[in-house]
Structure 1
Amino acid sequence: MFRRKFLQSLGTLGLGLTLPMGAVQAQAVKKATDQKVDLSAVGIKGKVQAGGKGIPGVVVTDGINLVTTDKSGKYSLESNATAQFVYISVPRGFEIPQEKGVARFYQPIPAGKPSFTADFELQKLTQDDTKHNFVVWADPQMINKKDAEELVNVSAPDLKKLVDGYGKNTLFHGIGCGDLVWDKFELFEDYQKAIGISGIPFFQVIGNHDMDLTARTDEGSSDTFKKLFGPTYYSFNRGEVHYVVLDDVFFIGTAKRYIGYLTERQLQWLEQDLSYVKPGSMVVVSVHIPVNSGEKRRMKLKDESLGGVVSNRKELYRLLKPYKAHIMSGHTHICEKVIENDIIEHTHGAVCGAWWTGPICTDGSPSGYGVYEVNGSEMKWYYKSVGHDREHQFRIYPKGTVKDRPEEVVVNVWNWDPEWKVTWFEDGVRKGEMKQEMGLDPLSVELHAGPNLPAKHKFVDPTMTDHLFWAKPSAGAKQIKVEVTDRFGKVYTQAQAV
């Protein structure tokens, strides 16, 4: 039934206004500027194959409607001139098509032609992909060549070392979770160089700093991104997991103004896309702006920030309800876990930390990225700090570090969620769980607080966080030890003199 949605969506523009069927027959619609929107029909056909043999059941889309390949790998779909790409949802069991690390699963649709043939050649994997890993790089956000050099010479080699540590037969892919650059499009070349160094294929998410700021509407704001990386929403498969990328940054037509919003066009496409996914399967959705966050509560705001969360997230939650869903996001330069019913959202600390001003984000989380280990329909994860091994999962601040709580020790556990336990010991004696309280990370206060800090970007300020834990040692205590147990039972420990 979803193929019929093509007819409903032919004229879908902007926020998803659906034109009546009669409009399909029109050759053009006039704008106030006398420019014309071409709605003429475009027939697309082709074949998806590997080694000369067609692959059946592959989902093919033009971003409006979806079809599947037949038993010989052939497909055809009726598109229209507003569609920019034809692309596939790469099926499980096949390599991710790439060009120097950039995933290439699409073909641009030539303008002005009534028909187009797009064939896709895939390579079958030599191993089962039921077990695989992926990483999420949020906010590389380079504004100059110095930032780019750090990404290329420090962050990228760190990721390569991590990947190599798993062994050459481990399947990995990456997701660049938006703000790949900081409005400086010439630095996209450095981003591509960095992911090329990592040695794994990367899929890209558009961020608010990846948009064309001179565009008059949201539709034109992704033109440069599309030229480099293809469509802004799509899906792919690896093992038993279905991956989806969405564009939730809606540009409102003036420089650097945007809201978190999913257009009707994307939601219609997503509903069709998910119709090919078995309920109960794991679905991983990647966006830039967090779908939800605790910012309103922590900052005691009257309303949610329009540019900080997705306003119409309830519909996304509804569509994801039948699945074991995870959402990957960035944008905020902090680490946060938001759990909505059975949906877990992973908001990642930034690869650039606090905009390349030092080793941490504004909540004290180290500059880093998420690492996810998938086995069938199960997934484990941890946060990888750049320049540290995977055991670096928390930081202890000794008694007296926080001036208004001089008798207490505070611990920042950046990838914490409610399934974690944070326990402390005093001189070898177990004292119990530390008390979780919201606050500011002391190192972030030291590096970021005040009108003159940090010198590089004075707008940076410490951010209130939920993942601080407190304890008050005895007056004569000599040493404390902190034991952090993640939701998977892995234990991390660190001892420090009081």
Structure 2
Amino acid sequence: MEKRRSFLKNIALLGTALSAPTIVFADTKSFISPAVKDRLVKGKVDDHRKGLSGIQVTDGFSIVTTDDKGSFSLETDPRAEFIYLSTPAGYEFNQESGIAQFYKPISAKDFNFSIRKLSKDDNEHMFVVWADPQVQTDADAQNILTQAGPDLAKLKSSYPEGTLIHGICAGDIVWDQFRLFKDYKKSIGQSGIPFFQVIGNHDMDLDVRTDDLSAATFKQNFGPSYYSYNRGKIHYVALDDVFFLGTGRRYIGYFTENQLSWLEQDLKHVSPGTTIVLTVHIPTNTGQKRRYELKDDDIANVVANREQLYKLLKPYQSYILSGHTHFNEHIVEGNRHEIVHGAICGAWWSGEICYDGTPKGYGVYEVKGNELSWYYKGVGKEKTHQIRVYDRNNKAKPGQVVANVWNWDSSWEISWKEDGVMKGAMTQFSGKDPMAIDLYEGNVRPVEQPWVEPILTDHLFYVNPSATAKSVEVNAKDRFGNLYSEGITL
């Protein structure tokens, strides 16, 4: 088996990635050339045959809105592959076997879209984020079908009947084995939740010349690789930030000009101050450069031109949701909050935890109006499972008691008790999770993926109990006031 390249190794970028040239059309009202006329598509968006006005329709390059009869006319770009909607708030997400359906291929005979109004207000709703199912073998397919899929179905059933819930997969749906897309579809189909997908580096076609062609198989299965939709007061966006360099398996985190230009148009329809939830595969940023004292970013693991995205998002409260790294992390800067998600597959289906100690699992988000709250749900674990505590014999800080609070951000409060007596705050440090060291450190383990290694993470804490201490209890209060605790007998 080919070894996965190290997450900490910088790759060299040779040459400059260029977007396709912009095509400019003459501004004329009296004449449309045959070539332009062939690119003119017309359609309608309706609800039970009643036309809906103000609905965004796009070819991925230009955006138009429907008129008061629900009709639209769009001059498509020669490179367009789909005509698709930004589903408006208050409407159902069309789906087919769990896959959200909001698009039609450019080869379609008609471009009429029917959507149905929800039977309830959608200002309160929820969504889940699966990152990196990474299905490579039939055994992996069985894991996602017997573990992740049923866990999601159980989560859904734990909420009141009729709760509005949808899913987002943040990429690396499979591990280069496109035949296994069908098993991913079956796994999400177990819950009946409509899912939107983002392309990952392992979902790309690697036998093509350039990045422009690398999403062909993904698009055949899931539609456009960038798009938007609305639910309640939240505007959702999905982007493709995996740029294939056209050789081997090499790629970088990068937004093409086509996408940024499209996003700029999309956001013109969104009022400043709105909450935006944007999903990508590669994180726009992580703390790995700081933790490993690297001179430069690893541009295969963060987005090289992220500042251009940040400029577009500046007028909004934005949440950037990502995966790719198989670790959990929060980066909060002003009104922008990035959440890097642990993987559904953990350490590539070779252990119960990711290599930062985060349980294999997914993010669960609850929305009320403009506000989001969230927690991390370990597969097979209760939602209260948010801490793991290690005794003095751990390999991360021998002699100390260590806690891993994997969904921690700087607004959390982490404290501890010794023998039932409150002692105050724990000390945060960057290090390796003790369980990850035991499971993954060394070139012979885990057996399934021996190249997996534990990594440095910031969500670790330690204390030095007294020599006579019999027990330690770790308490965590998250940014929403939820309390979690986990204890250990010494």
> TM-score, length-normalised on structure 2?
0.94
Q: Is residue 198 of structure 1 aligned with residue 191 of structure 2?
A: yes
Cα distance, 1:299 vs structure 2? 1.5
Q: What amino acid is the match of 1:69?
A: T
**2-side partners of 1:406 and 1:215: how far apart?**
50
Query: Residues 14, 106 of structure 1: CA spacing in aligned structure 2 closer, same or farther, 3 A cutoff?
Result: farther
What corresponds to 1:89 in structure 2?
A: 86
Listed one character per residue, the Cα deviations across residues 230-262 of structure 1 (whole Å, up to 9, x for unaligned) are: 000000000000000000000000121100000
What corresponds to 1:417 in structure 2?
A: 409
CA RMSD in angstroms comes to 1.9
Alignment of 1:44-443 (within 5 A): 44-110=41-107, 117-402=110-395, 405-443=397-435
Q: Secondary structure in 2 aligned to 1:438?
A: strand
Give aligned pairs, total. Answer: 472
Q: Is residue 449 of structure 1 aligned with residue 441 of structure 2?
A: yes
**2:61–2:77 Cα contact (<8 Å) kept:** no
**2-side partners of 1:140 and 1:333: how far apart?**
10
Cα distance, 1:400 vs structure 2? 1.8
Q: Which of 79-88 and 179-188 deviates more? A: 79-88
**1:425–1:481 Cα contact (<8 Å) kept:** yes
Cα distance, 1:20 vs structure 2? 4.9
**2-side partners of 1:367 and 1:254: how far apart?**
31
Q: Is residue 17 of structure 1 aligned with residue 9 of structure 2?
A: no
Q: Secondary structure in 1 aligned to 2:398?
A: coil
What corresponds to 1:8 in structure 2?
A: none
> TM-score, length-normalised on structure 1?
0.92
Listed one character per residue, the Cα deviations across residues 139-194 of structure 1 (whole Å, up to 9, x for unaligned) are: 00011000010001111000110011002210000001000000000000001111
**1-side partners of 2:105 and 2:186: how far apart?**
23
Query: Residues 82, 26 of structure 1: CA spacing in aligned structure 2 closer, same or farther, 3 A cutoff?
Result: farther
**1:247–1:262 Cα contact (<8 Å) kept:** yes
**2-side partners of 1:296 and 1:479: how far apart?**
36
Query: Residues 40, 226 of structure 1: CA spacing in aligned structure 2 closer, same or farther, 3 A cutoff?
Result: farther
**2:320–2:336 Cα contact (<8 Å) kept:** yes
Q: Is residue 484 of structure 1 aligned with residue 481 of structure 2?
A: no
2:453 to 461, 469, 481: 461
**1:41–1:81 Cα contact (<8 Å) kept:** no
Q: Secondary structure in 2 aligned to 1:439?
A: strand
Query: Residues 235, 394 of structure 1: CA spacing in aligned structure 2 closer, same or farther, 3 A cutoff?
Result: same
**2-side partners of 1:260 and 1:23: how far apart?**
36
What corresponds to 1:31 in structure 2?
A: none
**2-side partners of 1:340 and 1:307: how far apart?**
22
Q: Which runs of 5+ in 1 are unaligned?
A: 1-12, 28-37
Q: Secondary structure in 2 aligned to 1:148?
A: helix
Query: Residues 483, 334 of structure 1: CA spacing in aligned structure 2 closer, same or farther, 3 A cutoff?
Result: same
**2-side partners of 1:433 and 1:207: how far apart?**
39
Listed one character per residue, the Cα deviations across residues 101-145 of structure 1 (whole Å, up to 9, x for unaligned) are: 00010000119xxxx630001111101100000000000001100
